[in-house]
A and B are shown apart, each in its own frame.
Chain A
Amino acid sequence: MTDQRHRDKRNVDVWLTGTEDPDWLVESTDEGAQKMASQETTARLLEQEGLAVADDRLLDEDIAPDDELMIINMGPQHPSTHGVLRINIELEGEIIRRSKPIIGYLHTGMEKTGEELTWLQGPTNVTRMDYLAPLHNELVFSLAVEQLLGIDLPPRAVAIRVLMTELNRVSSHLVALATNGMDIGAISMMLYGFRDRERILAFFEKTTGLRMNHNYIRPGGVAADLPPDWQEDIEFILEKVPPRILEYEDLLKANPIWMGRTKDVGVITLEECLAYSVTGPTLRAAGSDWDLRKAFPYSGIENYHFEVPVGEHGDVYDRYRVRIEEIWQSLSIVKQAAESMPEGDYKTDDRKIAPPPRARIDESMEALIHHFKIYTEGFQVPEGEAYVAIESPRGELGAYLVSDGGSRPLRMHMRTPSFANLQALPVMMADSMIADTVATIASLDPVLGDVDR
């Protein structure tokens, strides 16, 4: 089953259009592509399947030798896989030798859907990919559209985007801490993390109308201005959340159980991170200070002062430390953005892109036409292609958009960080204990909507 010839035959003969080999379909009744490559000999496999008679010579050898490997299946309905991730794990005793993540259980064809939606409807689609950081998805899509359009935004729209995405980073990291704690057995951390995230989601609901999947950041600006008493809400968050973070650091930082479960667990080196396209807190925990907010600043984030926390060991504990530090840095950016929030429009006044204010529609025929055109046909984007990336809580989140000059994208591709980071899971888990699996997965913080799209 595993020899190269068979694999070539499968790829070439079957998948070239119009050359399907009917025999292949019969062979592929099982989940062949989702199995790990077998290490058993063909004769041994035949004996195991009962297709070859095991003769007396087997009685002389140890039928189940001590070093026999066992493949166990984890997921897709496992509570610690953060969704519908499935992993095939090959065990030697309690030690993981090989593993293979199997994904696709949440694949809903969002990139295909994106080709049918107008540029203005795009954010409502992409916001459902990484559902723990929806505003980052909307931001990167909008930035890519604006790159193709070549427009500038009013300063208030840009500052609102920074304020909202950095708050979103805090809420996403709080969930990462919460689920990381829960997987290792610190149930109180789970309750605390979700409790504080709720304060931020309440502000999101007040501003955008929804707790998640906001469709708030759109090409041309944001959908609505901040609510009238938003400064008090931000002050409330900045007053209530930091003492809690201190508390969580007290709870976990020097906790011997926590350190025993996380130190030197799930280690990945910097070289492996680069080879496997790993970005975000996982890369920074391995010792790189790579942060797209510093390297390729977007939305004026270079105007705010913040540090890039860096770990050194690349283990679960360092990833936890990096996330805690990033929460502090993001709260600092939120504070700076709230203090320096400029006055003015919250979306561009280019009426070909952003719809006019509701009141204008009653007064102006032209405003009515613009409103109608934008919400039916949509605005048109010049022909071209662009790749824009931002630093999401999980790593480099990129949008690759191709326009043929119409009001819908010819191709909408999202480079999602969880998809790439998940590739490195076998590297982290190789030769570690089976009990560390959940800690490693949780520290990677994958969102399966982000992986499968």
Chain B
Amino acid sequence: MAGDQIVEGSEEQAETPARTLPDQAILRSIAEQFTDIEWAPSTGQDVFMVPKDLVRDVVQAASEAGFEMLVDLTVTDYFRRRSSRFELVINLLSIQHELRLRLRAPVPVDDVRVPSVVPIYSGANFYEREAFDLFGLIFDGHPDLTRILMPDEWDGHPLRKDYGMSSVPVQFKGSHQVK
């Protein structure tokens, strides 16, 4: 992987540590639009680390650079492993360039609001509802952010690491009236 990376040595970034930028021109063009995103390839795959407030802008830039499809959007919970507990993971696909790109955005537990990418890719709709349902991330600007897999009145977000694995009391509709 180290062979794929090249270090940019331009003068305007002389005062800051040199950023590592990807090889491919398309990915490089995206990276050069933002100073805050970091190139972090993982097991030979192309990954950008993105601050969560920039997610929509980076996705917009990727969309304009030729990534036609958002294939996947999910969340990982690094409970007690990282200071920023959640990580939003967006997988983009460019059919014309036969290229994949993954964006990873750390999301702290005390501020789980993330900009929605539904205005850019309509296909993010179900995925963001799923991320909200199972992890409790809130997507600003989503047209219909409701639970999708769990029942509407379910308490908690099951895929969080602090949500127990077993013996969940069965919740029936209207159960709130008796509790």
Q: Which residues of A contact B (CB under 8 A)?
A: 7, 11-12, 15-17, 25-26, 28-29, 31-34, 37, 103-104, 107, 109, 111-112, 116, 147-148, 150, 274-279, 288, 290, 295-296, 384-387, 389, 396, 398, 400, 402, 404, 410-411, 413, 415, 419-420, 422-423, 452-453
Contact = CB atoms under 8 A, between A and B. Distances in A.
B152 A34 contact: yes
B61 interface: no
Given A112-B165, A277-B70, A415-B72, A25 B153 contact: yes
A404 B138 CA distance: 26
Nearest to B166: A116
B145 A11 contact: yes
A307 B63 CA distance: 29
A28 B151 CA distance: 11
B45 A387 contact: yes
B5 interface: no
A17 B136 contact: yes
Query: Nearest 8 CB-CB pairs, A to B?
Result: A33-B146, A277-B123, A415-B72, A25-B176, A107-B149, A104-B149, A411-B76, A276-B123
Contacts of A31: 152
Interface residues of B, number: 50
B11 to A, nearest CB: 35
Given A400-B91, A411-B76, A116 B165 contact: yes
Quick one: which of A104, A147, A277, A386 has the most chain B CB within 10 A? A277
Interface in B124-139: 124-127, 132, 134, 136, 138
Contacts of A116: 165
B109 to A, nearest CB: 8
Contact of B145 (A7, A290, A387, A453): A7
B153 A28 contact: yes
B111 to A, nearest CB: 10
Contact of A389 (B68, B71, B152): B71
A72 to B, nearest CB: 20
Contacts of B109: 17
Nearest to A396: B71
Contact of B72 (A26, A109, A398, A423): A398
B71 A423 contact: no
B89 interface: yes
A413 B74 contact: yes
B60 to A, nearest CB: 14
Contacts of B159: 111-112
A189 to B, nearest CB: 31
16 contacts: A11-B132, A15-B136, A33-B146, A103-B149, A107-B149, A275-B122, A277-B124, A385-B89, A387-B100, A410-B76, A410-B81, A413-B89, A419-B126, A420-B123, A420-B126, A423-B126
Given A384-B42, A386-B42, A400-B91, 7 more contacts: A11-B132, A28-B153, A33-B146, A33-B147, A147-B44, A296-B100, A410-B81
B54 interface: no
A12 B111 CA distance: 11
Contact of A16 (B45, B69, B102, B112): B112
B72 A290 contact: no
Quick one: which of A104, A386, A396 has the most chain B CB within 10 A? A104
A15 B132 contact: yes
Contact of A423 (B125, B151, B165): B125
A112 B69 CA distance: 27
Interface string B101-114: 01000000100100
Contacts, number: 125
Given A103-B148, A400-B91, A423-B126, A274 B68 contact: yes
B158 A109 contact: yes
B169 interface: no
Given A11-B138, A415-B71, A33 B121 contact: no
Contacts of B81: 404, 410
A288 B95 contact: yes
B176 A386 contact: no
Contacts of A411: 74, 76-77
B12 interface: no
A290 B123 CA distance: 18
Given A276-B123, A384-B43, A385-B42, A104 B148 contact: yes
Contacts of B173: 29
A423 B144 CA distance: 13
B6 interface: no
B3 interface: no
B17 interface: no
Nearest to A22: B176
A420 B102 CA distance: 18
A132 B105 CA distance: 34
Given A415-B71, A415-B72, A12 B91 contact: no
A148 B42 CA distance: 9
A422 B126 contact: yes
A11 B112 CA distance: 12
B161 to A, nearest CB: 8
B73 to A, nearest CB: 9
A32 B42 contact: no
A437 to B, nearest CB: 20
Interface string B24-58: 00000000000000000011110000000000000
A105 to B, nearest CB: 9
Nearest to B179: A25
B117 to A, nearest CB: 12
B48 to A, nearest CB: 13
Nearest to B176: A25
A249 to B, nearest CB: 30
B85 to A, nearest CB: 11
